[in-house]
Amino acid sequence: KLPIVAIIGRPNVGKSTLVNRLTGSRNAIVHDEAGITRDRLYEPSFWRDRDFLVVDTGGIVFDDDSEFLPEIRQQAMLALSEAVAAIFVVDGQTGPTASDEEIAEWLRQQSVPVFLAVNKCESPEQGLIQAAEFWELGLGEPYPVSGIHGSGTGDLLDAVYPCF
């Protein structure tokens, strides 16, 4: 049974893009509209000597009562329940939002180790500044990454690796 890494975060932060980057696939649907990935999607990947599965989730939204959102939230919770680690993806260009805070608070109550990926950090210098804003989520070190460019994902996976 392969270890599972759950990708968690509010819609549009780049979860599906990051999943595609981490797995070398193009199966996770990337979309400009929020809330497009509605089901869980497992993709095989490996880092160093370990195989693992990445599960994309539809994004947790706690402050919205559109009809399909409770379902997405349930998917995310289910994904987390079977995961050895979670990557919490946030948007480095918007900075921390109220939804990020809520998700972070929920994640801090879970027993699964959480790694914070600050996505959309294409510029190395600015990425460090953008990432530093997310220390306030109380989830430890924020890792600047770019799902589009692929930068930073090695450091992120090095951090997750002990969980495999």
Contact between 17 and ligand GDP per CB under 6 A: yes
Do the annotations mark residue 150 as ligand-binding?
no
> Which residue among 16, 119, 130, 146 contacts Mg ion (CB under 5 A)?
16
Residue 62 in contact with residue 97, Cβ under 8 Å?
Answer: no
User: Segment 117-146, which members bind ligand GDP (CB under 6 A)?
Assistant: 119-120, 122, 146
- Of 51 and 71, CB closest to ligand GDP: 71
Q: Which residues contact 89 (CB under 8 A, 6 or more apart)?
A: 7, 8, 9, 13, 14, 15, 18, 117, 119
Q: CB-based contacts of 123: which residues, under 8 Å, 6+ apart?
A: none
Q: Is 121 annotated as a binding residue?
A: yes
Report the nearest approach of ligand GDP to the CB of residue 20 (Å).
Answer: 8
37 near Mg ion (CB under 5 A): yes
